[in-house]
Structure 1
């Protein structure tokens, strides 16, 4: 990857203009691989958020009345601009901020361009209906109306992709957005803002306000509870999601919360093991397991457990792990900080001490900042172990065994997470029956848990995976509301 100087201050972006924070506050963004500072970033204050919400409210009046063609062309142009960032500074930015490998950079940029293009196509599908009226001389229209100002909080792990998902449908529906990026990846997430600005998105429609960790709780609570903020969406941990949901509940505000996962893959006795192994390796280890849809639990029918384990270990041996800054061809690099690696190590140590068996990996971290963990496979995991229930967000696979389909379903449903799952079987109807009984927002038959398209309504079904949907028409329903308009004929007489 060509190296780009990232040392310039990242400023706030409010009402179409860049500025420092109102009190000049900044925070340091560090390289997780080395622990070394990369650049200083402006840290927005409550006053900055108040000003941004005010300007977004003003911009809503005109943007909500803009034509479908205006919105569509803006998004299509932004997609083209964003793709060109692959030949510019995007690889260096993502590499430095989130230890993104070459393939993860490419996936982030190209899938984000796809999100922008697919979302552009939604603009003419924001449709209402005409309802027959029982009152004579009356016509009833039900329109899908934009909400107003949306507060979006997007994470660091897929910083470009998930930022686009947080803001694209709200904006295409006619809302305006206040975006709070992760403190770990402001420049990566700003790439989406930059592309939309270059494409001609009007001032005030999208405002970008990074916040330092110490200010985040107060600023976030202020924005969630602000009278002019009509909707909140958040992608991140279930711990923070519960806090945001609590604040929103105090003012009866709608949310989309896409939180954590502990995705199970059920491998039945008639499964194609080669396909299952490939899907598990991809689903568990992409981005070193730092994806909410990552495969964390593999539930194996006892009759296929031994050959599956042997094949999985062979597949993992072929995966290249290392420092992506030294070797751009590695598939897995460092986690997003040293604390994350320690958390995964603690889960593994606890499982082994409780009777689980480590099949590969040595529970040690390498690299200059101790963030590189090799893939780990731990066998004989049981529901009474912490590792069975707690999201690891790291490169590990937990193996469990079962004898009956009912037992497999009970294991799959045995956590508070409900984001996604997968089932492997040559009998599609048997797999379909199991998929319908697994509690998950999506369940993939003969495919990996890490699978989503921009048109799909991705999300959990409650609990620690959250609620609400981002994609497709489901996303349009989330970021608009039905508005009844009745047209009465003149000369009506009313009896009361």
Structure 2
């Protein structure tokens, strides 16, 4: 029997250079085969904390993508007829393998994304839960019998898979975003072509290897990799190919709008989970300890690089100074900057140079226009060129870019408000509508504000709202459709009406 120390050692994530990492794939997956780009081109996947090469993967283009689309279309002819029970069993096998290999997947994820290893392990657990959930939902995609207005007719509805789908996923959650899309699409009976972000393709490839190991048939899951320059042509083909029945995309609002327009020509099913600009509203009657705790979870997970990160902290006058003081103190004592491989680190690097420039420019603009830096405010170059200090800004005015722009970095922007209506006006003055957070101990106020906030998800006295069982998605320009929950299947099925006459 293993000792406690041996168990802890076995659970400790390994270095990416370990020869034991059998899931570190450097080829793409098309029709069950691990292949390179037809052109022979490759690109390097970099560790943002170390600026070191993690792996080299195929730099694919539209020609390669067409092969993946054809493979998914061919596989759909048989996969759609696999019983719901058998699809459920295969998804469950995939889930079991994902759980068994969670430490290796987390190690790969930290190496390519830079996020702290504890967060990577948390994401793998979260992502795996979607595969488990949809393995169960596969057997609950039920039809309906409708009472007919005429005795000679019988009316019933069936739910059928829409066909092969394209899943385009972001770099900030390279495991969970694939899991909640692929889990739902496979459960519904669809096949898929997955295009992971160029910054983080290795997690997707590891998941695909385990899907193969679980016995999911060839062509049901295909993964194509490409550098940033080929992404537009690949996205356009996925949207416009007549063989692709639907597209699911998580990423920026700007790219989402392009894909939405490209899908229009084929009147194609589309699901979009786009950018957020989450308000974090703290009223005078709030429990400030809970508010600060929720703010830390919401703001600094993945270095602030999440679509549901609190972006604008709206603090009522009476508690503004106290809240700012408390969050500054908490940041100083709990946040640890460094390489995500270190289990003590809580703040890793930003994903790439472009994101680093964006965050720095936003903070510099605010400071130049009169914002006060309470904590941080500059790059943390001693850790590497993609690290930025956790920052708190006050004296925010409307002419500052941080007032209305999604930051996607470890920056807390504190804005005063006088009353409930002003808080709502500021919170809703954005075209984004993904997530919002409210801290109040007045139950009547909670119901009023939750109803009036123009966001698809609202956390009340809670900073961590994502869970498999809940419907995830936004309103306005933050997206179309919902992921997770029983509604996560909806994007991948259509309803067929059958009328039996002359009975």
**TM above 0.5, one fold?**
yes
Asked if residue 454 in structure 1 is aligned to residue 468 in structure 2, the reply is yes
Find 2:329's aligned residue among 314, 318, 334. 314
Find 1:3's aligned residue among 5, 15, 25. 15
Q: Deviations over 1:297-338 (max 9, x none)?
A: 111110111111111111111123222257331111111113
Equivalent residues of 2:29, 2:205 under 8 A apart: no
Asked if residue 198 in structure 1 is aligned to residue 209 in structure 2, the reply is no
The 5-angstrom pairing of residues 4-83 of structure 1 reads: 4-5=16-17, 10-83=26-99
Say which SS state the counterpart of residue 120 (structure 1) adopts: helix
Find 1:250's aligned residue among 265, 278, 286. 265
Equivalent residue for 1:223? 238
Shift in Å at residue 46 of structure 1? Answer: 1.7
Q: Distance in 1 between matches of 2:409 and 2:336?
A: 13
Find 1:236's aligned residue among 242, 248, 251. 251
Equivalent residue for 1:494? none
Say which SS state the counterpart of residue 303 (structure 1) adopts: helix
Structure 1 portions without partners, runs of 5+: 491-496
Q: Distance in 2 between matches of 1:321 and 1:55?
A: 46
Change (3 A) 1:9 1:477: closer
Find 2:401's aligned residue among 366, 373, 386. 386
Equivalent residues of 2:363, 2:377 under 8 A apart: no
Shift in Å at residue 207 of structure 1? Answer: 0.5
Say which SS state the counterpart of residue 85 (structure 2) adopts: helix
Asked if residue 470 in structure 1 is aligned to residue 483 in structure 2, the reply is yes
TM-score (norm 2): 0.93
Q: Distance in 2 between matches of 1:480 and 1:415?
A: 32
Deviates more, 1:260-269 or 1:128-137: 128-137
Q: Distance in 2 between matches of 1:57 and 1:388?
A: 46
Query: What is the alpha-carbon root mean square deviation over aligned residues?
Result: 1.7
Asked if residue 435 in structure 1 is aligned to residue 450 in structure 2, the reply is yes
Equivalent residue for 1:163? 178
Say which SS state the counterpart of residue 300 (structure 1) adopts: strand
Equivalent residues of 1:9, 1:40 under 8 A apart: no
The 5-angstrom pairing of residues 106-145 of structure 1 reads: 106-145=121-160
Equivalent residues of 2:239, 2:262 under 8 A apart: yes
Equivalent residues of 1:338, 1:369 under 8 A apart: no
Equivalent residues of 1:153, 1:166 under 8 A apart: no
Change (3 A) 1:123 1:433: same
Structure 2 portions without partners, runs of 5+: 1-12
Shift in Å at residue 108 of structure 1? Answer: 1.5
Q: Deviations over 1:38-94 (max 9, x none)?
A: 22111223222212211211211221111122111212221221122234x323312
Shift in Å at residue 97 of structure 1? Answer: 0.4
Asked if residue 286 in structure 1 is aligned to residue 298 in structure 2, the reply is no
Equivalent residues of 1:235, 1:258 under 8 A apart: yes
Find 1:329's aligned residue among 332, 337, 344. 344
Say which SS state the counterpart of residue 88 (structure 2) adopts: helix
Change (3 A) 1:91 1:477: closer
Say which SS state the counterpart of residue 304 (structure 1) adopts: helix
Say which SS state the counterpart of residue 318 (structure 2) adopts: coil
Q: Distance in 2 between matches of 1:384 and 1:428?
A: 34
TM-score (norm 1): 0.95
Find 2:381's aligned residue among 366, 379, 384. 366
Q: Distance in 2 between matches of 1:236 and 1:39?
A: 24
Equivalent residues of 2:194, 2:222 under 8 A apart: yes
Q: Distance in 2 between matches of 1:80 and 1:2?
A: 20
Deviates more, 1:74-83 or 1:431-440: 74-83
Q: Deviations over 1:386-412 (max 9, x none)?
A: 111111110011111111111110111
Q: Distance in 1 between matches of 2:18 and 2:369?
A: 46
Shift in Å at residue 9 of structure 1? Answer: 6.3
Equivalent residue for 2:412? 397
Q: Distance in 1 between matches of 2:31 and 2:89?
A: 21
The 5-angstrom pairing of residues 254-269 of structure 1 reads: 254-269=269-284
Count residues in correspondence. Answer: 487
Equivalent residues of 1:223, 1:229 under 8 A apart: yes
Equivalent residue for 1:99? 114
Q: Deviations over 1:321-377 (max 9, x none)?
A: 222257331111111113212211110111122222111103123256411112101
Equivalent residues of 1:299, 1:402 under 8 A apart: yes
Shift in Å at residue 136 of structure 1? Answer: 4.1
